[in-house]
Amino acid sequence: MGLSWTLISNGLIGGTNLIAQIWLARELGVKVIGDYATIVVGLELILLPVNFGFNQAVIKFNQDPLIHAGCLTLVTGQALATIGLSSCAWLLLSFFDSMEPMGILLPGVLLVVARILNNYSTLFYAPLESGLAYTYLAWVRIAALALSTSTAIALAVSGGGVYALVVRDFLSSLVILLMVLRRTRPPLTLTNNKGAIGRILKYCLGVWLLNVLERAALRIDYAMVGTTLGRDSLGVYYQIRALIEGCTGFLVAPVQTVGFSFYNQVEEKTEIIRKTIQTRRTYLLTAALGAGVTLLISKPLVGALLGEKWIEGHVLLPSLVLYGMAILWYENIKVISMAIERQFATARARVVQIGILILLYPVLLPKGGMAMAGVVTAGASIALAVIATTTFRRGGKYSYA
């Protein structure tokens, strides 16, 4: 029942979030979305070094209370580093621009706090994930979505601008943390035990590398679109891609949570991996078919969903369909690699993806514009999925040549 309800609730949350996202985009317009995207992307890039997945260690070593205490210590250090890095970045920006820093100060603070709250909440609900107690977590996410989205809509209608989106993120993180604390009541004990902390860091080093590479891959293209084509174009790119990620989120979230817990607990992983790899050609054909259909209907679809002011973004849609399908495939390969403690196995694929983005965006984007941004993003994500799959077919204990 828990798993079934998780999938149903995830569909409900994803669908509601997608509808709200479309409404907010129509209401707020390209400029506000561009401003929000600029702050989010900048913050994500600044905080790349502190993207640790300490909650994954709690799931992996669920029965060890010393691991829990060590993770709490490390997450607290992560919070302090988050504050320090974001503060330094804001001060540095102040030297170059006297107006922009003041405009982003309060939104930035709210997003930094939201990030910290989210780090604590993922740590505290990790034991629930490990025990596959997803029913309560589903209700937590529904409650957070209801409050944060209704507040965002109210702020958007009243002219709140970028604060509609920033307050939404903050409230969502706060509600999740409070409801998780109510259910789990974790012991808030810190430890400096070198053995426990060393064990956590050893396991999480691979997770950290994956997180850093993933965040970099997800944000570098945004930064390049913004610097090359301007903030309004960034807003369009951000919103169209958000539509695709909203749709793929229906499946990505269960893969990252339920899938990871399942792969950790199942004894025989070889057969699961073999069956996954065998579906690759069918999956590729499905992705190509989806992109082809989207190519035929992209312009009227974007106009109907977002309105005429977003219509230039229709050229992104077919390519980003391929991007979404490739990311979904990769995520499944990634959580399997984490479950069998081969976190580094998929890191090479991320490095290649980032390399493609860095090399091709500056060359192709100035001439190709928005359409080329989608093509490069799709190509890089396909390379990501192919290399990750090849790694599993040829390397290690679980290999299929």
Q: How large is the average pLDDT for residues 340-369?
A: 85
- Give Cα 147 to chain centroid, integer Å: 21
pLDDT at 351 over 60: yes
Cα–Cα dist 198/188, whole Å: 20
pLDDT band of residue 252 (cuts 50, 70, 90) is low
Q: How large is the average pLDDT for residues 145-158?
A: 95
User: Is the pTM for the entire model greater than 0.75?
Assistant: yes
Task: Provide the phi-psi class of 185: left if phi over 0, else alpha when psi is between -120 and 50, else beta.
Answer: left
Residue 67, token pair as written in the block: 């691991």
Q: Which residues contact 96 (CB under 8 A, 6 or more apart)?
A: none
Q: What average pLDDT does the chain have?
A: 83
Residues 39-55: tens digit of each pLDDT: 999 899 899 888 887 77
Q: Rounded to whole angstroms, what are the CA distances from 207 to 43, 115, 190?
A: 20, 18, 22
Residues 316-335: tens digit of each pLDDT: 999 999 999 999 888 888 87
Q: How large is the average pLDDT for residues 392-397?
A: 58
Q: Residue 219 has what pLDDT?
A: 86
Instruction: Confirm if 152 and 20 have CB atoms less than 8 A apart.
Output: yes
Instruction: Confirm if 375 and 319 have CB atoms less than 8 A apart.
Output: yes
Cα–Cα dist 52/143, whole Å: 26
- Dihedral sign computed on CA atoms, order 305, 241, 142, 336: positive
Q: Rounded to whole angstroms, what are the CA distances from 281 to 285, 286, 303, 386, 395?
A: 6, 9, 33, 11, 20
Residues 114-145: tens digit of each pLDDT: 999 999 998 887 777 666 566 777 888 889 99
Residues 47-80: tens digit of each pLDDT: 988 888 777 777 777 667 787 888 888 899 999 9
pLDDT at 315 over 80: yes
Cα–Cα dist 379/287, whole Å: 13
Q: Residue 1 has what pLDDT?
A: 47
84-98, 222-236, 370-384: range with lowest mean pLDDT: 84-98
Residues 15-28: tens digit of each pLDDT: 888 899 999 999 99
Q: Which residue has the higher pLDDT, 98 or 1?
A: 98
pLDDT at 398 over 60: no
pLDDT at 401 over 50: no
Nearest-CA neighbor of 244 among 82, 22, 79, 95? Answer: 22
Q: Which residue has the higher pLDDT, 183 or 244?
A: 244
Q: Residue 217 has what pLDDT?
A: 86
Residues 180-215: tens digit of each pLDDT: 888 877 777 788 878 888 888 887 776 787 778 888
